[in-house]
A and B are shown apart, each in its own frame.
Chain A
Amino acid sequence: MTETIELALKTLESQLNQPLETALEACARCGICAEACHYYRAEPKVEHIPAYRSEQLRSVYRYEHDFLSRIFPTWTHAKKLDETTLAKLSEMAYSQCTLCRRCTVNCPLGVDTPLMMRAIRAMATAAGTAPEILVMLADSAIEKGKDPSFFKDMFLDQIRDMEVQMRDIMGDPNTTIPVEKQGAKILYVPLAGAHTILPPAIVFNAAKEDWTLSIFEAANYGVFLADVNRAKQVAKRIVDEANRLGVKEIVIAECGHAYASYRWDVPNWFAGQFDFKVRSLIEVLAEYIRDGKIKVDPTTISAGVTYHDSCNLARNGGLIEEPRYVLSKITTDFREMTPNKAEALCCGGGGGLVALAEYTDRRLAAGKPKADQIKKTGAKIVVAACENCRLQIGDLNEHYQLGVHISALTDLVVRAMRLPKPLPGHEAEHLFEGEKAPVLGD
């Protein structure tokens, strides 16, 4: 047995807890999960059935663990893991499953196929067969945590520029973007890039919130690698920052996997050192609107608007009604996609796929069901509260010529706040003119 295979099998053993063994044992191979998968919907073939995918890991598991399979491997297609099988498993888990859990909710037994795909990802990461770019992105995030001094000055410069921009937009010279403010109530963790800092900063200022901006980004590529060690190191930057500043709450930018990991995984990874409430920016927006902390004009956006449920936010995160509440307060023509909420289709960009250029064709093909769904709504604006989803839907927009405008939820809220000046870089202004102009596209 080579060292690679040994590492992979050792990782499988270390992952093999009650939920994973259950997922490996429970499937009856009834096949009704097929249409639940967006890969299968886009290209109906046996290899795209979730049960088929999980069988690939089960073959290896059975060879190692099942009495009957050990004496009669053909009976259960049990297979000894070798380099070729590991390469195939790895490619499948990273390029043909976005870990969306739609198959799980559609399975009569509730088989957790993504848990098995995560186990494969972990095996591949340990054995060195995971996609290089995901490893690089996780490692560079860890590097930023080790020594923030090499980027902090540049970061603060950008924030000062953004502050100037914000004051201009809000028409208020007293607004600020506090960084590393000791004792603030909220630590807001953005993504890399001004588009996830400026609009939330406007909202926090308008709500007169006691907040501070994190110098790190919420994205965590260790999660996509199913590498808890790396993922913990990436998350530790934020946990340490929150502890150092003594904040009460961590608010995560509009990002699916970051929310799901900070809300549902990080409290377990840092049990005892993690005494913060974690909320998504979406929940904060809903609260501010409900409590009247920010004023929004419900007639601002009268063009057709649809909402894409990020799998990490909705099905895996429980943020289902909050974004709809926000949209109900700022739009006049909201159109649901079908299916939606816990049954929503994955856009095809999850699981780190948008960062894997080598699988672009596969990703775009698998996004067709989502593109068709969007088209069917006839909406002109697609709201997605996840960066990866927005990137993917942006690509689908171009590839399938959907002709839609893709927006973050916060951006629309800022528009509805009717500030003296608009956010920079927003195209499709004609779609947002509300009562002042006829609605286009109807």
Chain B
Amino acid sequence: MTDTLKLSLDFKGLLCPMPVVKIAQAMKQVQVGESVEAVATDPGVMADIPAWARTSGNEVITLEKREKDIRFVVRRLK
């Protein structure tokens, strides 16, 4: 997975829908098969990122709640 990780982003403090907007923009900068990692604090991402990934041709590889933030990794599928 780490081989394909191309971008690491910080969405801390951003509120809905900005984490989805920003990750959607970031996915355009990577090739199919490559991944983007992001860290956010808005708990809304726990539902919004998987839902967005399902409809936009991306795959959520990791979505983990940590002590102070939420980390997720998304791979571009098409």
Tell whether A pairs with B.
Answer: yes
| Interface residues in chain A, defined as those with a beta carbon under 8 Å from any beta carbon in chain B | 132-133, 136-137, 139-144, 150-151, 154-155, 157-158, 191-195, 217, 219, 221, 355, 357, 387, 391
CB-defined contacts of A141 to chain B, threshold 8 Å: 51
Picked from B18, B20, B52, B63, the residue with its CB within 8 Å of the CB of A391 is B18
CB-defined contacts of A357 to chain B, threshold 8 Å: 21-22, 25
Tell me, rounded to whole Å, the shortest Cβ–Cβ distance linking A356 to chain B.
8
Nearest 6 Cβ contacts at the A-B interface: A192-B44, A151-B47, A192-B16, A140-B51, A140-B52, A139-B55
B9-32 interface bits toward A, Cβ cutoff 8 Å, 1 = contact, 0 = none: 000000111101110110000000
Q: Is chain B's binding surface mostly helix, strand, loop or mixed? A: helix
Tell me, rounded to whole Å, the shortest Cβ–Cβ distance linking A394 to chain B.
9
Picked from A136, A142, A150, A217, the residue with its CB within 8 Å of the CB of B44 is A217
CB-defined contacts of B22 to chain A, threshold 8 Å: 357
CB-defined contacts of A154 to chain B, threshold 8 Å: 46-47, 63, 65
| Interface residues in chain B, defined as those with a beta carbon under 8 Å from any beta carbon in chain A | 15-18, 20-22, 24-25, 42-48, 50-52, 54-56, 63, 65
- Residue pair A192, B17 in contact (C-beta under 8 Å): yes
- Residue pair A193, B65 in contact (C-beta under 8 Å): no
In the assembled complex, the Cα of A219 lies from the Cα of B46 at a distance in Å of: 16
In the assembled complex, the Cα of A252 lies from the Cα of B29 at a distance in Å of: 36
In the assembled complex, the Cα of A143 lies from the Cα of B49 at a distance in Å of: 11
In the assembled complex, the Cα of A126 lies from the Cα of B16 at a distance in Å of: 26
Q: Is chain A's binding surface mostly helix, strand, loop or mixed? A: helix
Q: Can you list 11 residue pairs at the A/B interface with Cβ under 8 Å?
A: A136-B55, A136-B56, A137-B21, A140-B52, A150-B50, A151-B50, A155-B46, A192-B16, A192-B17, A192-B45, A193-B16
CB-defined contacts of B21 to chain A, threshold 8 Å: 133, 137, 355, 357
**Chain A: which residue is nearest B22 at the CB level?**
A357
Tell me, rounded to whole Å, the shortest Cβ–Cβ distance linking A222 to chain B.
13
- Residue pair B55, A217 in contact (C-beta under 8 Å): no
CB-defined contacts of A391 to chain B, threshold 8 Å: 15, 18
**Chain B: which residue is nearest A157 at the CB level?**
B65
In the assembled complex, the Cα of A33 lies from the Cα of B69 at a distance in Å of: 47
A144 with B56, Cβ < 8 A, contacts A157-B65, A357-B21 known: no
- Residue pair B52, A191 in contact (C-beta under 8 Å): no
- Residue pair B56, A192 in contact (C-beta under 8 Å): no
CB-defined contacts of B18 to chain A, threshold 8 Å: 355, 391
Other A-B pairs, 10, CB within 8 Å; known A140-B51, A151-B51, A193-B42: A140-B54, A143-B51, A150-B51, A158-B43, A191-B16, A192-B42, A192-B43, A192-B45, A219-B17, A391-B18
Picked from A133, A150, A217, the residue with its CB within 8 Å of the CB of B16 is A217
- Residue pair A387, B15 in contact (C-beta under 8 Å): yes
Tell me, rounded to whole Å, the shortest Cβ–Cβ distance linking B38 to chain A.
15
Tell me, rounded to whole Å, the shortest Cβ–Cβ distance linking A225 to chain B.
14
Tell me, rounded to whole Å, the shortest Cβ–Cβ distance linking A165 to chain B.
12
- Residue pair A136, B46 in contact (C-beta under 8 Å): no
A137 with B52, Cβ < 8 A, contacts A191-B16, A192-B16, A192-B17 known: yes
CB-defined contacts of A219 to chain B, threshold 8 Å: 16-17
**Chain A: which residue is nearest B60 at the CB level?**
A150
Tell me, rounded to whole Å, the shortest Cβ–Cβ distance linking A301 to chain B.
23
In the assembled complex, the Cα of A192 lies from the Cα of B42 at a distance in Å of: 8
In the assembled complex, the Cα of A387 lies from the Cα of B44 at a distance in Å of: 14
In the assembled complex, the Cα of A142 lies from the Cα of B25 at a distance in Å of: 21
CB-defined contacts of B17 to chain A, threshold 8 Å: 137, 192, 219, 221, 355
**Chain A: which residue is nearest B44 at the CB level?**
A192
A136 with B16, Cβ < 8 A, contacts A144-B51, A155-B47, A157-B65 known: no
